[in-house]
């Protein structure tokens, strides 16, 4: 919870709203702005367990979150004392109308698997990432730890584990269906270039443009074999 806030009739509405917003941000409550709306991360049941979705907030939700974020009081004329109260509807509705002037962090989308930032670092910590403006939640899936400075052996071991790829074969190929990876000669079902059968890892697409899918495949190929990937068809991003 943010610092305690006491509001009296001497303070103007804009000052009260500013303080409420500061406390809402400082409280750590997961609330963001996105495409002209104030949103939170909604978790809904599904056949697989649950799915995540942005939920736009209304005045009532804003009042509830601001009540959680700070202490609101009003003066009781009968007892001549300050008593606890909820965030006034006027403050919640006025804050909601500040579209374009919110100080809340911007969020772009929700992802459920680690990804590569544009600077090459790995986003693998749950929650909001200010650098990419992505919200990461693995939803209970435990991904293997990724070294800060992976070695060539780390790349080869991960390629073999995740993709069934062997350094004896060609570099991975990116196709429209996903990441296509060759396997060594000697397999009776082999097809494709250099006597290698092509396996395609299903690709659901990058969460957002520039999420790093192309960089990931390129680096995997270079780390594993010293060669870049062979792109088939249009270059994917």
Q: Model confidence over 57-106: pLDDT tens digits?
A: 999 999 999 999 999 988 888 888 888 899 999 999 999 999 999 999 99
The pLDDT, as a whole number, for residue 196 is: 37
Q: What digits encode the pLDDT tens for the residues 45-61?
A: 888 788 899 999 999 99
pTM, to two decimals: 0.63
Question: Looking at the predicted structure, is the pLDDT value of residue 187 above 50?
Answer: no
What is the per-residue pLDDT across 124-183, written as a single tens digit (0 to 9) for each? Answer: 999 999 999 999 999 888 888 777 777 888 777 776 666 554 444 444 444 434 444 333
With a cut of 60, say whether residue 26 has pLDDT above it. yes
pLDDT at residue 215, as a whole number: 60
- Residue 87 is predicted with a pLDDT of 94
Q: Is the pLDDT of residue 189 over 60?
A: no
What pLDDT score does 16 carry?
92
Listed ranges 118-122, 179-183, 206-210; the one with the highest mean pLDDT = 118-122
pLDDT at 6 > cutoff 80: no
Instruction: Answer yes or no: is pLDDT of 23 > 50.
Output: yes
Calpha distance 115→112 (Å, rounded):
9
Q: Would you state the pLDDT for residue 185?
A: 40
Domain boundaries, the chain: 13-107, 144-231
Mean pLDDT score of the chain, rounded to an integer? 74
In this predicted structure, what is the pLDDT of residue 213? 55
Is the sign of the CA dihedral 15, 17, 20, 26 positive or negative? negative
- Given this model, what pLDDT does residue 235 score? 46
């Amino acid at each position: 919870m943010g610092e305690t806030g006491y509001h009296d009739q001497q303070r103007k509405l804009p000052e009260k709203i500013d303080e409420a917003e500061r406390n809402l941000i400082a409280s750590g409550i997961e609330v963001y702005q996105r495409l002209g709306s104030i949103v939170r991360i909604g978790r809904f049941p599904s056949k697989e367990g649950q799915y995540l979705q942005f939920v736009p907030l209304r005045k009532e939700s804003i009042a509830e979150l601001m009540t959680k974020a700070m202490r609101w009081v009003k003066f009781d004329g009968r007892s001549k004392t300050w008593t606890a109260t909820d965030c006034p509807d006027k403050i919640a509705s006025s804050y909601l109308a500040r579209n374009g002037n919110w100080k809340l962090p911007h969020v772009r989308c929700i992802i459920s698997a680690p990804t590569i930032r544009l600077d090459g670092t790995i986003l693998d910590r749950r929650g909001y990432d200010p650098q990419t403006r992505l919200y990461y939640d693995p939803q209970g899936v435990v991904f293997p730890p990724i070294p800060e400075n992976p070695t060539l052996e780390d790349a080869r071991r991960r390629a073999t584990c995740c993709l069934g790829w062997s350094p004896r074969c060609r570099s991975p190929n990116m196709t429209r269906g996903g990441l296509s990876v060759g396997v060594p000669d000697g397999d009776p079902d082999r097809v494709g270039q250099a006597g290698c059968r092509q396996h395609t890892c299903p690709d659901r697409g990058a969460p957002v443009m520039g999420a790093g899918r192309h960089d990931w495949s390129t680096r995997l190929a270079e780390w594993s074999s010293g060669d870049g990937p062979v792109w088939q068809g249009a270059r994917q991003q």
